[in-house]
Amino acid sequence: METKLNTQEGECDIKGDKELSLGGAEGNGKRIKFSPLKARILMMVGPMFGAIFFGFFSCSVIYHTLKVGLSFWLDLIHENFMLIGCYIWFHIELFKSIYRMIKNNLLLNSNIQELRDCYPELEEDWQNLNDADYFNKDLQVLVYGDHLICYRTFDIAYLPECSKIDAFMKMYRLGSRHKVRRVHFSAWYLDGSESELRTNELRSFAGINQKARKDALFDYLRENFDYIELETFD
């Protein structure tokens, strides 16, 4: 999945004629503490635990190989071919976890830099995001200037270059019995690239009408960015 980065050396056209909707922490006076560091930790938790788990297995295999000799493992693999399949799978998952850690970190760095380039006031204090044009605390998304931001993950979309935004429900399994559905967004750009805007995967959305909150966001986008095609679930 290709990520849309700032394309004009940090120059972003900020619209000044957009109507405010639920601005400033949904207009209730309560300010949110925005932290790129918390977003970095959130996006690293899953891949990090995966890397630790699969890395521990890999280190155990290397340790036992050095301890008992390679011939022992060759004989064992010869007798049970499934063992080598498990060994390969564990190492594939290890490299996938490491790749996700690196990818999430690089993406977050580029998104933070893009926001700082477009809005110098954020360089001084991220709490200026509380003055967003649109603020949806339930979904943890906001519109600041010309950017749609999922502020817990700091996934962003530069709206003037978007051709379509899609909202969809993503299923997560918690344990063996419980499943939860969380709304996510995807942005398509004029150059054909696409990026996903992830909400907080570790947060419970119990008791929140996600569809109603998503519809409120799309109503704002439809009114202020009418050139963007909006695609949604029923």
Segment 192-208, tens digit of pLDDT: 999 988 876 555 555 57
Give the right CATH number for 137-234 from 2.30.29, 2.60.120, 2.40.160, 3.30.700: 2.30.29
Say what the pLDDT of residue 28 is: 47
Query: Can you spell out the DSSP letters for the chain?
Result: -PPP---STT-----S-PPPBSHHHHTTSPPP---HHHHHHHHHHHHHHHHHHHHHHHHHHHHHHHHH-HHHHHHHHHH-HHHHHHHHHHHHHHHHHHHHHHHHHHHHHHHHHHHHHH-HHHHH-GGGGGG-SEEETTTTEEEETTEEEETTTTEEEEGGGEEEEEEEEEEEEETTTEEEEEEEEEEEETTS-EEEE---TTS--TT--HHHHHHHHHHHHHHH-TTSEEE---
Q: Does 147 score more than 70 pLDDT?
A: yes
Of the two residues 46 and 127, the one the predictor is more confident about is 127
- Predicted confidence (pLDDT) per residue in 50-99, tens digit: 666 666 666 666 666 666 666 666 666 666 666 666 767 777 777 777 88
Taking 60 as the threshold, does the pLDDT of residue 3 lie above it? Answer: no
**pTM of the predicted structure, to 2 decimals:** 0.69
Mean pLDDT of the chain: 75
